[in-house]
Amino acid sequence: MSNLILRPDWHLPERQVTSETAFFNRRHFLLQLGFAGTGLLATQGCGNVADAAANAPKAASKLYPPTRNLSYDPGWTLTDEKTAATYNNFYEFTTQKDRVHQLTTKFEIDPWAIEIGGLVEKPLKLDARELLEMMGVEERVYRFRCVEAWAMIVPWTGFQLSKLLEKVVPKAEAKFVKFVTANRPEQMPGIQRLRGYPWPYTEGVRLDEAMNPLTLVASGIYGKPLPKQHGAPLRIVVPWKYGYKSIKSIVKIELTATQPATLWETLSPEEYPFESNVNPAVPHPRWSQASERLIDTGDRVRTLPFNGYAKQVAGLYKA
Ligand code: MTE
């Protein structure tokens, strides 16, 4: 794997990830990958909010609006919805955060087959709609922290992954849960451009992490079905880990005996390790993780161990 490929804009120090410098950073990134002059740069612009709204799945579901679970509502001020919908990481489409919502419009999300299998007694293969009807959904307000040192607070709609895993009955040998994103180069221009990446996007957690009540399968945000740029129709949310673990648009959940290879760990294990718990005391090799920038207000705030969820998850890491 060439070094040039290992330089997405995540690798920029967080102080450089600002709207003022974003253009130059992207240009630098594209130049490194040999894309300058392709016309890509000419088409970028500020996030178009109308596009973001149009990018939500059309079919209104009876699952929305969801009931908020007040045990997961600490009364925090939510991040502005439009900012969250126009500042996205979804490399299958583009590395430019403000263009993901535009480039996902033609991505087909209905029907959507999802498979839960591997080391389980009762594997499932069903459509996303059936899964949601079977599981039911609720709303929870979570903090979300990207490895790039930006953060947001959003209300997710979804269900606990643990409840789904209980239904499929993990075998005794199952120790990890692997997640896989759809792999459709014809609808995902980023896959065609980032040819050296080990697609499909794959992530994973330990089985005990997957069983923690905080780990969600999310189908919605801000009380509505997920817009495509946020990972429709189904994504994972693991709020005490850096955002790259919260994999989007999943087609497969597989229980395994050994730790699965993940896209980012395969590309750069020192920078994007498998465990990746939010930790202000451990800097990324090229920037500090001590603080984070809220994407809507620009405020810089202290990063909390486990992204503020130490009480719920620190026990998982005692050993
Ligand atoms: N999932 C897939 N399939 N592809 C991606 O590029 N990016 C990750 C994560 N999930 C990513 C992904 C990263 S780095 C972050 S920070 C979050 O998605 C961003 O989620 P959001 O755009 O909904 O805020």
Please write the tens of the pLDDT for every residue from 294-304. Answer: 999 999 999 99
For 131-181, write each residue's pLDDT tens digit: 999 999 999 999 999 999 999 999 999 999 999 999 999 999 999 999 999
pTM (2 decimals)?
0.86
Residue 89 beta carbon below 6 angstroms from any ligand 1 atom: yes
For 112-121, write each residue's pLDDT tens digit: 999 999 999 9
Quick one: which atom of ligand 1 is closest to the CA of 201? 3
> Are residues 180 and 193 in contact, defined by beta-carbon separation less than 8 angstroms?
no
> Are residues 241 and 317 in contact, defined by beta-carbon separation less than 8 angstroms?
no
pLDDT at residue 53, as a whole number? 52
pLDDT above 60 for 231: yes
Confidence of residue 62 (pLDDT cuts 50, 70, 90): confident
The residue whose CA has the least distance to atom 19 of ligand 1 is: 89
Site to substitute for ligand 1 among 78, 142, 244, most atoms within 8 A of C-beta:
244
Bridge-based pairing state of the strands 250-256 and 113-118: parallel
- Which H or E run contains 217? strand 216-221
For 6-56, write each residue's pLDDT tens digit: 344 443 333 333 332 332 233 223 323 322 222 222 222 223 334 445 566
pLDDT at residue 45, as a whole number? 29
Q: Any idea where the domains of the chain sit in the sequence?
A: 2-316
Residue 264 beta carbon below 6 angstroms from any ligand 1 atom: no
Residue 181 beta carbon below 6 angstroms from any ligand 1 atom: yes
Residue 150 beta carbon below 6 angstroms from any ligand 1 atom: no
For 68-87, write each residue's pLDDT tens digit: 999 999 999 999 999 999 99
> Among the CATH numbers 3.90.420.10, 3.20.20.60, 3.40.50.2020, 3.40.50.720, which is that of 2-316?
3.90.420.10
Q: Which of 264, 225, 211 is nearest to 242 (CA)?
A: 264
